[in-house]
Amino acid sequence: MALGQALTLTAALFLQSRECELTEVTFQEDAEYLHLVSLYRAGHPSEAIREIGNLDIAVVKRLIQSEAPGMSDDCLQAASILETELAMTLAENSLWQNADSHFEAAWQISLLIELTYQGERATPVRRLRFQRDWLLAAGLFNHQLIFMNVAEKAFVRADRFLHNAVRLYPNDPEVLLAAGSLLEWSGSLREGEPSHLKEAEELYARALRLTPDEPEILLRHGVVLEKLEKEDEARPPLRRVLELETRKDLIYRSRMVLGKMAERAGRLVEAIAHYEAALDAIPSWQVAYVALGHALHTSGSHDRAREELDRALAMDMKSADATLGGWWSYELGVALRFEPLFERMRAEVTK
């Protein structure tokens, strides 16, 4: 037997042992759905997310309506996280309508488990509550506040879910960072909740007391302080990010905020230097060209300003900046923020 075949067989056996089941499978699509949840549990999240996105949402709705008879808690929880990851992916690609139904499915699946354990204070339920509250809050915040008119009920629900989630894990830097970013985003919106900026700042400060040199938390703390117009307090954490050997996107963002503050104070030379340094870090993100163009324009360097804007305008919509992982997805508070949490949640259902 060839080594490849042996590995395939091993993987198949491994998968089989984790195969999710229902008491009765009536439709072929149900079997496919169960197989993809199993695939997710077996450590193939990307493939499972991609494939499950091709299935009709009616499949999961049917599963929920029938209360998924015979499906184990681990499988249900995996399905819930998988649905959420799919919803996040759709949201990141601006497919909000589709994302909504998967957020809702994730929430309803987690509810199935919680109802089973109602009244118990077991850890799995606590974890599940966190997952459900946190992820639904994320979905609601991102969707309802940004792209639609503020929906009163959705906002109140999201607010409550988020605070519940943070209360469950008050000393987890990752949770504090993730929650802070949602609050920060909400607080930055004109239709959002102004007090959320202050709350975000407090969560980041708490997270930094636990992990003082975590670059991403330093960056977010600096950003939110700048938004709160506490520029003197914002500069040290942002400069600290530059001192640390960290990811280029974090360097880029720190430079941009430092540049913005310098420009606002009329220190155009300094602002231009920051924007240029941002572009040194990542030349393929559009926003720094716009910022640099404006700073050059203000400083009277019109030919150079036009050059930078020409570069910005020539950038393809399909560039990294315009799609996943770029400047804007970070500002949405979606992709980078949630991945560590998803990893932990996945680990819970695959161990």
Partner 1 sequence: MSLAGLVLLLIAAPQEPRPLFRVSTEAVQVDVFVGEDGRAVTGLGPEDFELYDDGVLRNVDSVAVAEVPLNVVLVLDVSESVEGVALTQLRSAADKFLDELSPEDRAALVTFSHHLSLRSDLTSDPAPLKQALSKVEAVGGTSWHDALFAALEMLEAVRERPVVLLFTDGADTYSWLREEQVVSLVSRSNAVVYAITRGERAAIPDLGTTRAQERFRQNRRERFRRTRLLLDVTRESGGRLIETSSSGPLEESFLEILAEMKTRYILTYSPPAPVRNGWHELEVKVKRKGVDVHARRGYHYEARR
Q: Which stretch binds partner 1 (CB under 8 A): 35-43, 61-69, 90-98, 235-243?
A: 90-98
**Residue of 22, 146, 273, 335 interacting with partner 1 (CB under 8 A):** 146
**Residue of 18, 286, 334, 345 interacting with partner 1 (CB under 8 A):** 286
- Minimal distance in Å, beta carbon 16 to partner 1? 41
120 binds partner 1 (CB under 8 A): no
Burial of 304 (0-12, 13-18, 19+ CB in 10 A): middle
Under DSSP, the state recorded for 145 is I
76 binds partner 1 (CB under 8 A): no
- Minimal distance in Å, beta carbon 153 to partner 1? 9
315 binds partner 1 (CB under 8 A): yes
Q: Which residues from 31-50 bind partner 1, rule CB under 8 A?
A: none
**Residue of 210, 302, 324, 347 interacting with partner 1 (CB under 8 A):** 302
Calculate the alpha carbon distances from 64 to 61, 71, 224, 332, 350 in Å. 5, 11, 40, 30, 22
156 binds partner 1 (CB under 8 A): yes
**Residue of 306, 324, 339, 347 interacting with partner 1 (CB under 8 A):** 306
Long-range pairs, 7-14, Cβ under 8 A, ≥24 = 11/42, 14/42
186 binds partner 1 (CB under 8 A): no
What gap in Å lies between CA 79 and CA 88, rounded to an integer?
14
What gap in Å lies between CA 251 and CA 222, rounded to an integer?
12
Long-range pairs, 160-167, Cβ under 8 A, ≥24 = 161/132, 161/133, 161/134, 161/136, 161/137, 162/133, 162/134, 162/137, 162/138, 164/129, 164/133, 165/129, 165/130, 165/133, 165/134, 165/137, 166/203
149 binds partner 1 (CB under 8 A): yes
150 binds partner 1 (CB under 8 A): yes
**Residue of 127, 294, 304, 344 interacting with partner 1 (CB under 8 A):** 294
- Minimal distance in Å, beta carbon 294 to partner 1? 6
Q: Is the CA virtual torsion 280, 285, 288, 294 positive or negative?
A: positive
Q: Which residues from 211-270 bind partner 1, rule CB under 8 A?
A: none
Q: Which stretch binds partner 1 (CB under 8 A): 79-87, 228-236, 283-291, 340-348?
A: 283-291
324 binds partner 1 (CB under 8 A): no
Nearer to partner 1, 248 or 264 (CB): 264
Q: Which stretch binds partner 1 (CB under 8 A): 74-82, 266-274, 305-313, 341-349?
A: 305-313
277 binds partner 1 (CB under 8 A): no
- DSSP states along 171-238: T-HHHHHHHHHHHHHHHHSTTS-THHHHHHHHHHHHHHHHSTT-HHHHHHHHHHHHHTT-HHHHHHHH
**Main-chain phi, psi angles of 191, to 5 degrees:** -90, 0
What gap in Å lies between CA 304 and CA 103, rounded to an integer?
46
Residues engaged in binding partner 1 (CB under 8 A):
93-94, 96, 146-147, 149-150, 152, 155-156, 189-191, 286-287, 290-291, 293-294, 297-298, 300, 302, 305-306, 309-310, 312-315, 317, 319, 321-322, 328, 331
